[in-house]
Amino acid sequence: MGLFGRKLGSVQVEVSTHCQLNCLMCPKSIFRKDWVYEHMDLDTFRNVPFKLFKYAHLQGWGEPLLNPNIIEMIEIAKREGCSVGITTNGVLLQEFAKDLANAGIDLVAVSIASPKPEEHRKIRGCNLYEILEGVRLISKYGIPKIVVTTIMMKDTVKNLPELIKIARDYGVGDVIANNLDYIPSEDLEKLKVFSNEEDKEVTKILEDAKNVAKIAGVNLVIKPIKLEECLVCAENPIKNCLITVDGNVAPCVYLHLPTRSEIIRRIFLGREVRIPKLYFGNLNEKSFKEIWNGKGYKEFRNAFIRRLSVVPGFDFEFPELPNVCKTCYKAYSV
């Protein structure tokens, strides 16, 4: 039981902002000159109140396996009673497979852009088969949940059914097809598959993918491809949060990039939007409880809580989203 009576949901901890890759769709590739490369230190990590959360996901904008203390970090969070997971680009997976299993990690999600090696290399700049060998190894070591995550993009979504089959062949039980939900540059906008109107061609591919997954015995989660305002985004800032690499507490990764600038640039429905970064305090200066219960943070969460109390058919309008969320695609279900 945590300080708050019952446990919060998940804490996302940005253990590193370094990455060996320069993927086409990653903000690091776009904001290269402004990016701040850091590993979270152990003192900052120990200030994260893992006891208060059910689940800790040790990844933000960066590759977690590059943090020299990653295995110790997993062990610390586990000792505090959290389930622990990471999302990795898979490059170091073969090297780390045994240590991850010994540390008791509960979930490893591996990002794969395409089941086609040349397409994967074009987007992510690395060898698909080496990553898949890493997946095979973590499966062999019995890591409880192995997930392949992919980003649906105009050119690659057609390969989703094949990706599901490959995932199954390498011992993966879950595939998640995400959207390009943060778009940092105009060029990338053309690649998203979601819009105000559902694309029939993409819908057909996704139906095929669902059938393939069913036959393969793979759990498939496909994010919606039609924009529809939701009451609370999937990041659910009412009970989840992000701890940034230097210890700031923020509602989500979409409101904090590891750049020198205090402004985040987004492309939203064809136009450029600039929003201020949003975080409510630093764990190296204040306790989590003080930050979480601060006035500004409470107001931010209350904006979502008020939306949840809307009575359908009785209330005709939702209370407004916080300003910084109005131009975030996650607020529109994708």
Q: Tokens 């300003």, residue?
A: 323
User: Is residue 331 a contact residue for ligand SF4 (CB under 6 A)?
Assistant: yes
- Window contacting ligand SF4 (CB under 6 A); options: 30-38, 88-96, 187-195, 323-331: 323-331
Contact criterion met (CB below 8 Å) for 248 and 284: no
Distance, CA of 61 to CA of 65 (rounded, Å):
12
Longest dimension (CA), the chain: 57
User: Is residue 35 a contact residue for ligand SF4 (CB under 6 A)?
Assistant: no
Distance, CA of 332 to CA of 107 (rounded, Å):
27
Helix (H, G, I), strand (E, B) or coil at 297: helix
Residue type, 96: F
User: Is residue 184 a contact residue for ligand SF4 (CB under 6 A)?
Assistant: no
Distance, CA of 161 to CA of 272 (rounded, Å):
34
β-pairing, 271-276 with 219-222?
Answer: unpaired
**DSSP label at residue 66:** G
User: Is residue 60 a contact residue for ligand SF4 (CB under 6 A)?
Assistant: no
Instruction: Please pick, from the candidates 251, 258, 265, 267, the single residue that binds ligand SF4 as defined by CB under 6 A.
Output: 251
Backbone phi and psi for residue 120, each to the nearest 5 degrees, phi listed first: -60, -45
CB of 22 to ligand SF4, least distance (A): 24
Provide, for the chain, the percentages of residues in helix, strand and coil under a 3-state DSSP scheme, each rounded to the nearest 5: 35, 20, 45
User: Is residue 237 a contact residue for ligand SF4 (CB under 6 A)?
Assistant: yes
User: Is residue 254 a contact residue for ligand SF4 (CB under 6 A)?
Assistant: yes
Site string for ligand SF4, 262-291 (x = CB under 6 A): ------------------------------
Residues in contact with ligand SF4, counted by CB under 6 A, come to a total of: 12
**Between residues 82 and 255, which has the closer beta carbon with respect to ligand SF4?**
255
User: Is residue 332 a contact residue for ligand SF4 (CB under 6 A)?
Assistant: no
Instruction: Please pick, from the candidates 252, 264, 283, 291, the single residue that binds ligand SF4 as defined by CB under 6 A.
Output: 252
**Between residues 153 and 303, which has the closer beta carbon with respect to ligand SF4?**
303
Provide the binding-site residues for ligand SF4, judged by CB under 6 A: 233, 235, 237, 251-252, 254-255, 324-325, 328, 330-331
